[in-house]
């Protein structure tokens, strides 16, 4: 029997919205901009990180070579979960 990862609706939505490429990472301001509170996002990021579904990158640069800060993107495990959806349960749906 395979263990399923249980995610809240917000956690799953954030995971789904994050890019699957480390070439495109998103910071808290982008994640919060969808009507979520910072606290909800921090908790969701903490959960997603504990399941190794997302990766955090520092020292990001724009295509023009300007400093862009840091951000999150989906990990390979996160991509597998999104594209192979029988491995997850969403609480609250």
pLDDT tens column, 65-77: 888 788 889 998 8
Domains defined for the chain, CATH in brackets: 5-86 (1.10.10.10)
Name the band, by pLDDT with cuts 50, 70 and 90, for residue 26. confident
Q: What pLDDT is recorded for position 1?
A: 38
Name the band, by pLDDT with cuts 50, 70 and 90, for residue 20. low
Cβ atoms of 24 and 68 within 8 Å: the answer is: no
Percent of all residues in the chain with a pLDDT value above 90, rounded to a whole number: 23
Longest Cα pair distance anywhere in the chain, in angstroms? 49
pLDDT surpasses 80 at 50: yes
| CA dist list (Å): 12 to 5, 50, 68 | 10, 14, 25
């Amino acid at each position: 029997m395979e263990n399923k990862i249980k995610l809240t609706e917000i956690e799953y939505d954030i995971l789904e919205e994050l890019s699957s490429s480390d070439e495109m990472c998103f910071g808290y301001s982008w994640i919060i901009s969808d009507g979520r509170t910072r606290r909800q996002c921090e908790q969701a990021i903490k959960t997603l990180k504990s399941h190794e579904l997302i990766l955090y990158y520092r020292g990001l640069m724009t295509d023009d070579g300007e400093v862009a800060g840091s951000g999150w993107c989906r990990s390979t495990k996160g991509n597998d979960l999104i594209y192979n959806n029988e491995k997850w349960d969403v609480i609250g749906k």
